[in-house]
Copies of this chain bind each other. A is one copy, B any other.
Amino acid sequence: MSRGILTVISGFSGAGKGTLMRRLTEDYDNYALSVSMTTRAPREGERDGIEYFFVDTETFQERVRQGRMLEYACYCGNYYGTPRDYVRDRLDQGRDVILEIEIQGALQVKKLVPDCLLLFVTPPCAGELRRRLEGRGTETPEVIARRLARAAEESEGIEAYDYIVVNDDLEACVRQIHSMVQNAHYTPARQETLIKEIRGELSGFSKGAE
């Protein structure tokens, strides 16, 4: 069994990342979602190890120092991050792990896991992005301004991604992401065993023919 692919999904708010991830895990059985770790208090009904791993600040910081977080960020006074062991265990089990994180986190992950796949999800055109950022017309100007600032910020990192996934047709988009992840299993680095085996066979064959 080959090691899983780590896929990081980022993208504009409202681009449909959540739906895409849910559909990937529903339609195919090779995916595992990561569970984030946070220092914020659990909300009503949230279970440790399911929605999040809930830890105190000291524990979180200790993990960061030990290099046991794939990425992390501080948001509204709380830490959020991806536990490295959790992801590694699932990759070792052959699961393709999907993380949804924003660009700064994605670039942190790429440094630690160079063969991860970075996907950026975007609406099909700028007008559609505008409509999604504006929402249903019920958002306050502050909310829109915050979304806008975030989108402008995120668009700055697009070039570092492996693929821009245009979320126009949901079904096509799910299949496309799945094919991107599955194809990533066929890079030469991932097919090292087959290549070695073939080289061994050719060299043994060669000796036999001499």
A residues at B contact (CB < 8 Å):
120, 122, 125-127, 129-130, 133, 141, 144-145, 148-149, 151-152, 155, 158-166, 176, 179-180, 182-183, 186-188, 191, 194-195, 197-203, 205-206, 209
| Contact pick for A159, options B159, B166, B188, CB 8 Å | B188
Main secondary structure of the interface of A (DSSP, over half): helix
Report yes or no: A188 in contact with B209, Cβ–Cβ below 8 A. no
Report yes or no: B201 in contact with A129, Cβ–Cβ below 8 A. yes
Name, among A120, A148, A205, the residue most crowded by chain B CB atoms within 10 Å (CB to CB). A205
Q: How far is the CA of A206 from the CA of B152 in the complex (A)?
A: 9
Q: How far is the CA of A85 from the CA of B120 in the complex (A)?
A: 34
Q: Which residue of B lies closest to A189 (CB)?
A: B159
Q: Which residue of B lies closest to A157 (CB)?
A: B188
Q: Which residue of B lies closest to A184 (CB)?
A: B163
B residues near A162, Cβ cutoff 8 Å = 187
Q: Which residue of B lies closest to A151 (CB)?
A: B202
B residues near A205, Cβ cutoff 8 Å = 130, 133, 148
